Amino acid sequence: MTTSPSPDAAAPAVQCSGLTYSFGATRAVDGLDLTVAQGEVFGLLGPNGAGKTTAIRAITTLLPVPAGMVTVFGLDCARKRMQVRRLLGYVPQQLSADSGLTGRENVELFARVFDVPRSERRERVDEALAAVDLTEAAGRLAGTYSGGMVRRLELAQALVSAPRLLILDEPTIGLDPLARAGVWDCIAQVRAATGMSVLVTTHYMDEADEHCGRVALMHRGRIRAMGPPADLRAELAAQLGADPDRVSLEDVFRHHAGAGLTGADRPDEGGDFRDVRRSRAAARR
């Protein structure tokens, strides 16, 4: 294949070195060092305002970060934006399918903007819709979909360009338990079929424990702990002399961040206004 992006076969899917980004006086991400290996599911965890979304926006080339801070498969996110974007499938926090288009048309749009040749467009869109189990609903307007269906549709939109790295920002926010399971189910199947790397942010610790190979606990722009969830739990259990099965990832987080996820025990306000507005927008759908 004569593709121009030549990602380094050996390079990690994502590498952040000392990533720092400020909005005015607020330092949203403060010296983030992070490596996502090829093929793993990596969870970036933390409460609202921890800097997860800012980190994601830097990795997805949406924020102007200096060269050398973030690379995706060895390509610098500041210098090779277009090449990096061709490797990414991105699902934002909001339920962002276009409600005025059918499910199929939503996926078709992303096939078009990723330059899928016309001759393969139909087949690729069919495959993406089948992969997320929306073949039968494909002809309906996305406005009639449930929250879980919209999320799966967004996965199909992200998959249609055969990305090597799937980035999901709070994929299960605002969904009911069954829809949450359905979304994770889809992610697992697609990963099994493609071997793609997945970077996911969430503040549901139980989901991270269940589905992520490694997690990083983020608080106020910094990583407080990183590793496989079981290791992190075992470590804390050993420290406290407790039964590892009774230590949750939430306990680990509380231990390292000195605060819980609810934000009630944090002195400063958690999450900015946009976070609130976004989750409300997502909840409305």
Q: Find the binding residues for another protein in span 132-151 (CB under 8 A).
A: 133, 135-136, 141
Nearer to another protein, 35 or 194 (CB): 194
Residues 6+ apart with CB under 8 A from 133: 152, 186
Nearer to another protein, 13 or 63 (CB): 63
Instruction: Provide the token pair at 48.
Output: 């609202």
The string over 215-254, giving b where at least 16 C-beta atoms fall within 10 Å of a residue's C-beta and e elsewhere, is bbbbbbbbbbbbeebeebbbbbbeeeeeeeeebebbbbbb
Among 210, 239, 242, 246, binds another protein (CB under 8 A): 210
Which SS3 state, helix, strand or coil, does residue 267 take? coil
**Residue 239 beta carbon to another protein: minimum distance, rounded to whole angstroms:** 25
The answer to whether residue 52 forms part of the interface with another protein (CB under 8 A) is no
**Residue 36 beta carbon to another protein: minimum distance, rounded to whole angstroms:** 17
Q: Which of residues 4-33 bind another protein (CB under 8 A)?
A: 4-5
Only one of the segments 11-19, 70-78, 207-215, 254-262 lies at the binding site for another protein (rule: CB under 8 A); that segment is: 207-215
Tell me the C-alpha distance between 203 and 91, whole Å: 16
Tell me the C-alpha distance between 91 and 141, whole Å: 19
Q: Which of residues 62-121 bind another protein (CB under 8 A)?
A: 62-63, 82, 85-88, 90-96, 98, 100-102, 105, 108-117, 120
Among 78, 184, 255, 259, binds another protein (CB under 8 A): 184
**Residue in 250, 223, 252 with CA at minimum distance from that of residue 237:** 252
Residue type at 240 in one-letter notation? L
Helices (H), 132-245: 147-159, 177-194, 205-211, 229-240
Q: Which of residues 228-257 bind another protein (CB under 8 A)?
A: none
Tell me the C-alpha distance between 163 and 128, whole Å: 12
**Residue 10 beta carbon to another protein: minimum distance, rounded to whole angstroms:** 19
Q: Which of residues 153-182 bind another protein (CB under 8 A)?
A: 154, 157, 159-164, 177-178, 180-182
**Residue 162 beta carbon to another protein: minimum distance, rounded to whole angstroms:** 4
Nearer to another protein, 101 or 259 (CB): 101
**Residue 258 beta carbon to another protein: minimum distance, rounded to whole angstroms:** 26
Measured in whole angstroms, the distance separating CA 128 from the mean position of its chain's CA atoms is 19
